[in-house]
């Protein structure tokens, strides 16, 4: 049978914001008698990657087993404990947020430091700019990255330009904006977007995306301490799927530095966030099936990005594949491709390949066809090797 399947949890999470009131009834779709929701739901929601945890870090002291949302909570806890001016605010953060990233913090630090806001993203960021300009540390949460667009004007026209327009007399560099990001398996068009490319065109802000719990805590603490406004996108599918040994004490990971996760000689694979774990699988498949050695690079910071590490790798391998979940046209892969073409033209052995989402809204039942999975990436490697 052909059917569309919503779980009850999916329905009540998505309907209030994703659909107008008059569409609520349309979302309650009945299954035909012979349709097994259990089988089809499991098949459609099967993960398109296998999470590969990083080695246990030893340089930052004792560690504790955490998933990604717990590592974010730990970073926020460390900040509130060490910085008496720090405040956390957003929709529902007082009770822990929809993904539980702020759970327990209001009870520990008080309602004046962890508090809810009205459902108004423009107001959340505008308030955060004012808090940061006044000298405090502002940590704003946008409940989903998909809902950051109402705040676009405040981020791009105010936060990013505040320092420049005053000749550095005042700034809002103490502002960090957090938002769950990327596909989640059943989020559809209003809960699965990856909007990093919109902000990569805007000087004055930094855009950061971690691949796992260890990076999430270190990079988030770096964003909070950085003297520029930062946007920190958190891969929501990894909130519970990603588990690592994370240092308990505060530590930072430098921004604007890509990390070479695996060295190789034939193809450079560049990605960020969830897609890094797809690239790691692709590298293993390419080695086993094709005898191709892949170098895997996690960009980590989208703006300003680490051109030196990427170009150095491409000079060595002669081939580059970039993959992200966002639509291909105007996606950040285009910027990387253009820069590498300018810097490494004489070293390229094949055209640069981009394996990305399609130029459509993010689909629901067709999500398995939309995501840039390992098989699409492996085919791209074959084409480059045989070019």
pLDDT at 46: 56
pLDDT at 185: 84
By the 10 Å C-beta count (0-12 exposed, 13-18 middle, 19+ buried), 236 is classed as buried
Q: With H, G, I as helix, E, B as strand and everything else as coil, classify residue 178.
A: strand
pLDDT at 34: 43
The pTM of the full predicted model, rounded to 2 decimals, is 0.89
With contact defined as beta carbons under 8 Å apart, do 68 and 258 qualify? no
Residue 52 is assigned to a structural domain of this protein: no
> Which listed residue (91, 141, 186, 191) is catalytic?
191
With contact defined as beta carbons under 8 Å apart, do 124 and 136 qualify? no
- Cis before residue 36, ω within 30 degrees of 0? no
Asked if 112 and 234 sit in the same domain, the reply is yes
Asked if 136 and 193 sit in the same domain, the reply is yes
How far are the Cα atoms of 174, 285, 312 from residue 135, in angstroms, in the given order?
7, 50, 40
pLDDT at 130: 98
Please give the tally of structural domains in the chain: 2
* Per-residue pLDDT tens over the stretch 332-350: 999 999 999 999 999 999 9
Asked if 120 and 82 sit in the same domain, the reply is yes
Residue 238 is assigned to a structural domain of this protein: yes
pLDDT at 151: 98
Residue 345 CA to residue 226 CA, distance in Å, equals 34
Domain-terminating residue out of 225, 247, 269: 247
Asked if 191 and 292 sit in the same domain, the reply is no
Residue 297 is assigned to a structural domain of this protein: yes
Residue 5 is assigned to a structural domain of this protein: no
Residue 275, domain CATH = 3.40.50.920
Residue segments in the chain with a per-residue pLDDT below the cut of 50? 1-42, 44-45
Residue 1 is assigned to a structural domain of this protein: no
**What are residue 267's phi and psi, to 5 degrees?**
-145, 140
Asked if 81 and 181 sit in the same domain, the reply is yes
Residue 17 is assigned to a structural domain of this protein: no
pLDDT at 47: 74
- Whether 364 is catalytic: no
Asked if 171 and 276 sit in the same domain, the reply is no
Concatenated DSSP letters of 308-334: HHHHHHHHHHS-EEEEEEEESTT-HHH
Residue 329 is assigned to a structural domain of this protein: yes
pLDDT at 28: 37
Domain-terminating residue out of 247, 282, 307: 247
Asked if 138 and 218 sit in the same domain, the reply is yes
Residue 243, domain CATH = 3.40.50.970
> Which listed residue (48, 91, 121, 196) is catalytic?
121
- Whether 191 is catalytic: yes
Domain-terminating residue out of 247, 272, 300: 247
Asked if 155 and 297 sit in the same domain, the reply is no
Which structural domain, as residue segments, surrounds residue 224?
60-247
Where are the alpha helices (H) located in the chain, listed in sequence order? 8-18, 24-27, 37-44, 68-82, 105-109, 121-133, 152-153, 162-165, 196-200, 213-225, 238-241, 275-290, 307-317, 332-344, 367-370, 374-385
List the Cα angle 112/117/82 in 5-degree steps.
40
Asked if 238 and 381 sit in the same domain, the reply is no
Asked if 328 and 230 sit in the same domain, the reply is no
Asked if 237 and 337 sit in the same domain, the reply is no
Asked if 239 and 267 sit in the same domain, the reply is no
């Amino acid at each position: 049978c052909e059917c569309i399947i919503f779980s009850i949890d999916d329905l009540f999470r998505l309907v209030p914001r994703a659909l107008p009131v008059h569409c609520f009834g349309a979302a309650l779709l009945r299954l035909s008698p012979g349709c097994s929701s259990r089988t089809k739901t499991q098949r459609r929601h099967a993960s398109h990657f296998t999470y590969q945890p990083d080695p246990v870090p030893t340089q930052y002291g004792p560690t504790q087993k955490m998933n990604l949302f717990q590592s974010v909570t730990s970073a926020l806890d460390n900040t509130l404990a060490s910085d008496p001016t720090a405040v956390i605010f957003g929709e529902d953060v007082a009770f822990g947020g929809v993904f539980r990233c702020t759970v327990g913090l209001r009870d520990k630090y008080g309602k004046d430091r962890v508090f809810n806001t009205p459902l108004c993203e423009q107001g959340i960021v505008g308030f955060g700019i004012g808090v940061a300009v006044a000298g405090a540390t502002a940590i704003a949460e946008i409940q989903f990255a998909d809902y950051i667009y109402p705040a676009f004007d405040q981020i791009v026209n105010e936060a990013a330009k505040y320092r420049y327009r005053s000749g550095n007399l005042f700034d809002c560099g103490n502002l960090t904006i957090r938002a769950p990001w990327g596909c989640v398996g059943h989020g559809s068009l209003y809960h699965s977007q990856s909007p990093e490319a919109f902000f990569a065109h805007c000087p004055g802000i930094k855009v950061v995306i971690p691949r796992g719990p260890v990076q999430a805590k270190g990079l988030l603490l770096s964003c909070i301490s950085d003297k520029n406004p930062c946007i920190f996108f958190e891969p929501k599918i990894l909130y519970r799927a990603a588990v690592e040994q994370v240092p308990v004490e505060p530590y930072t990971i430098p921004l604007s530095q890509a990390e070479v996760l695996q060295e190789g000689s034939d193809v450079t694979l560049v990605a960020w966030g969830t897609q890094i774990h797809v690239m790691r699988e692709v590298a293993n498949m390419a080695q086993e099936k094709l005898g191709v050695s892949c170098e895997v690079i996690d960009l980590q910071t989208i703006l300003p990005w680490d051109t030196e590490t990427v170009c150095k790798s491409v000079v060595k391998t002669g081939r580059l594949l970039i993959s992200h979940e966002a639509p291909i046209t105007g996606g950040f892969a285009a910027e990387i491709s253009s820069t590498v073409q300018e810097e490494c033209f004489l070293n390229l052995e094949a055209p640069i390949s981009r394996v990305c989402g399609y130029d459509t809204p993010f689909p629901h039942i067709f999500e398995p066809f939309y995501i840039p999975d390992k098989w699409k990436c492996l085919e791209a490697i074959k084409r480059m090797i045989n070019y």
